[in-house]
Chains A and B, each alone.
Chain A
């Protein structure tokens, strides 16, 4: 039963952190922006710290690295955005790209 409560609290914290992030980064800034970011940071820290006390089920060697999921999540997202930035060099075209190729006039 204790496990259930721990998991529920952690999950709710995580969800709250995620929602706070959206409020904290909007423009114009939220008047409590700094506080929201501080709470968000605390949630991040909680997931890392609680991860140190856990007996991980390991299927691959890399999962035994400290805070592997966190590092992987961060790296994956940065990788994703930078690859997308690279693709932006040649994938985007004007909205009427195909119509122009058919010989339509602007």
Chain B
């Protein structure tokens, strides 16, 4: 019997064989990889490798323990989530010919799984960086100049976050003497600095404003499938590590609440639908962080289940917009409209995703987001509750109405297209079925949560209250759009919190391209003039002597250097 198999390493090593296969065999192999990882996780759930929780694959590392396999309820649900999502996305992207795209996407998933099952901080860090590099490659597969530039900005953010995380880890291990990754301690004073550094490293990946700008900047530049991959793993891994290390960390409540509110304004302004969904993703992660910050069993269950449901409903919206992009070549509000007749299936799936993310009763968001909002209410956090409800109405406006309305309805632009190929429809179908199943039968998800659940989402007042909130938010949209007061979409970019950084970068590039190049050219010209002045004296000598003189000068230089070094050492000794 096998001791244990690491699902992340199955993917990371498995991708190396992808280029060896051709045609149908390659497609089969691409499906087998995440399927094996998924079966592996299901076997773990069934206790095939031992009774949960357990730790395995511990390797000695510089006097510390390097734990690759920490299996408990929290890591298992994220493992299930990631492998299930990977399988769905491979189906979605099975027609993609580029080996390197599949390889970077699946090793990205492998990195995320590695973080989830890592039991110590060093293993976590290594997989964290694998994820950062692989996801940058996924961005670059957009293969446009914009994607290349956005990818560089993306990796700079993640290198920055990674270094802070590493600094925190090293300091933490040094002060506690253990590299095990469990709930971290925090408080006032310098003793907690390592925890705070680790925290900052984590929240950069969670895209907490104002450290979020990399997300709407880079994600929409990837390929149709690449963007969906990106939307899932980095942020949800961050949610996992925060749920592991910072449960009940109170600043997270406010951070999460503000994170739900900030992006909804941008989502109204944004014209590119994939960017709208990116802002909506930040908003959704805000709900999860808020739940982790509240820290009660209900709230943490809410955060974890919302992460699970979100991957499928938010993913479904990304899949739908991706399908539209695949067929029409655009995903901008100003260039789309009236697609419901041309792409009926995509439209129907989009409604399922939109209703789920808006938390319509009978859809998954309703049963998961309610746990977080109820936890805030049980804790009598009035201000937080008000913000979360505002954000809920905001989500409904931009993801619930804006995305389906401007794509499939709005002004009919007469596209002659069809629904996407069968594999893409199938992937959307899987995500839609999961979203509805969780919504109609919450227990299907509740049984996997880290804490026992006694939350009942379906009560008459809750259903009616939620319907009132959503339908009257839609009524506001109806009033504004029919009266012409709704701001028309504009094909522009919107400045975000990375503006100061990008301005410094842009000014630096301007300085290099402009004044610095001019100075260089002038210097060059000046030196030539001086040289030509001496040429008048040297004549042929210059040409004959050139090599010899150069060698001589170099030798003199080296000799002087040697001499200085020797004298220096002699003085110092």
Give the shortest distance, in Å, between A65 (CB) and chain B (any CB). 12
- What are 14 inter-chain pairs, A to B, with CB distance below 8 A? A11-B362, A18-B400, A18-B474, A23-B340, A56-B465, A69-B464, A73-B472, A73-B473, A76-B390, A91-B495, A97-B495, A101-B507, A102-B509, A102-B510
- B338 touching A26 by the CB < 8 A rule? yes
- A81 touching B400 by the CB < 8 A rule? no
- A25 touching B503 by the CB < 8 A rule? no
**Which of B79-87, B406-414, B443-451 lies at the interface with chain A?**
B406-414
Write the A77-97 contact mask toward B (1 if CB under 8 angstroms, else 0): 111110111011011111101
- B389 touching A76 by the CB < 8 A rule? yes
Question: Which residues of chain B come closer than 8 Å to A101, judged between CB atoms?
Answer: 503, 506-507, 510
- A97 touching B474 by the CB < 8 A rule? no
Question: Which residues of chain B come closer than 8 Å to A95, judged between CB atoms?
Answer: 491-493
Contact A3:B460 (CB < 8 A) given known A11-B467, A101-B510:
yes
Contacts of B431-450 to chain A: CB distance below 8 A: none
Judge whether A32 is part of the interface by a CB distance below 8 angstroms. no
- B476 touching A47 by the CB < 8 A rule? no
- B351 touching A78 by the CB < 8 A rule? no
- B510 touching A103 by the CB < 8 A rule? yes
- A80 touching B264 by the CB < 8 A rule? yes
Q: Which of A8, A70, A76, A80 has a CB less than 8 Å from the CB of B268? A: A80
Contacts of B464-510 to chain A: CB distance below 8 A: 464-478, 480-482, 486-487, 490-495, 502-503, 506-507, 509-510
Judge whether B401 is part of the interface by a CB distance below 8 angstroms. yes
CA distance A80 to B397 in the complex (A): 9
- Number of B interface residues in the complex (CB < 8 A): 72
Query: B355, B467, B494: which has the most chain A beta carbons within 10 Å?
Result: B467
**Which of B113-121, B228-236, B291-299, B374-382 lies at the interface with chain A?**
B374-382
Judge whether B513 is part of the interface by a CB distance below 8 angstroms. yes
Q: Which of A23, A72, A94, A98 has a CB less than 8 Å from the CB of B492? A: A94
Given A19-B351, A85-B487, 4 new contacts (CB under 8 A): A47-B464, A54-B461, A73-B469, A91-B269
- A47 touching B361 by the CB < 8 A rule? no
- B460 touching A54 by the CB < 8 A rule? yes
Question: Which residues of chain B come closer than 8 Å to A72, judged between CB atoms?
Answer: 389, 393, 469
Q: Which chain A residue has the least Cβ–Cβ distance from B374? A: A59
Judge whether A12 is part of the interface by a CB distance below 8 angstroms. yes
CA distance A72 to B385 in the complex (A): 12
Judge whether B322 is part of the interface by a CB distance below 8 angstroms. no
Give the shortest distance, in Å, between A105 (CB) and chain B (any CB). 11
- B475 touching A74 by the CB < 8 A rule? yes
Q: Which A residues are within 8 Å of any B CB, using their own CB? A: 3-4, 6-8, 10-12, 14-15, 17-19, 21-23, 25-28, 40, 43-44, 47-48, 50-51, 54-57, 59-60, 67, 69-81, 83-85, 87-88, 90-95, 97-98, 101-103
CA distance A22 to B348 in the complex (A): 12
Judge whether B405 is part of the interface by a CB distance below 8 angstroms. yes
CA distance A7 to B457 in the complex (A): 11
- A92 touching B268 by the CB < 8 A rule? no
The interface residues of chain A, by DSSP majority, are classed as: helix
Question: Which residues of chain B come closer than 8 Å to A94, judged between CB atoms?
Answer: 492-493
CA distance A93 to B265 in the complex (A): 16
Give the shortest distance, in Å, between B414 (CB) and chain A (any CB). 11
Judge whether B34 is part of the interface by a CB distance below 8 angstroms. no
Q: Which chain A residue has the least Cβ–Cβ distance from B440? A: A8
Q: Which chain A residue has the least Cβ–Cβ distance from B397? A: A77
Contact A47:B467 (CB < 8 A) given known A22-B405, A80-B264, A84-B265:
yes
Question: Which residues of chain B come closer than 8 Å to A55, judged between CB atoms?
Answer: 461
Q: Which chain B residue has the least Cβ–Cβ distance from A55? A: B461
Give the shortest distance, in Å, between B415 (CB) and chain A (any CB). 14
Question: Which residues of chain B come closer than 8 Å to A56, judged between CB atoms?
Answer: 461, 465
- B494 touching A22 by the CB < 8 A rule? no
- B493 touching A102 by the CB < 8 A rule? no
- B362 touching A92 by the CB < 8 A rule? no
- A11 touching B469 by the CB < 8 A rule? no
Question: Which residues of chain B come closer than 8 Å to A21, judged between CB atoms?
Answer: 401, 474, 477-478
CA distance A71 to B513 in the complex (A): 56
- B410 touching A26 by the CB < 8 A rule? yes
Q: Which of B459, B476, B478, B509 has a CB less than 8 Å from the CB of A73? A: B476
- A84 touching B269 by the CB < 8 A rule? yes
CA distance A47 to B464 in the complex (A): 6
CA distance A68 to B50 in the complex (A): 51
Judge whether B404 is part of the interface by a CB distance below 8 angstroms. yes
Q: Which chain B residue has the least Cβ–Cβ distance from A71? A: B472
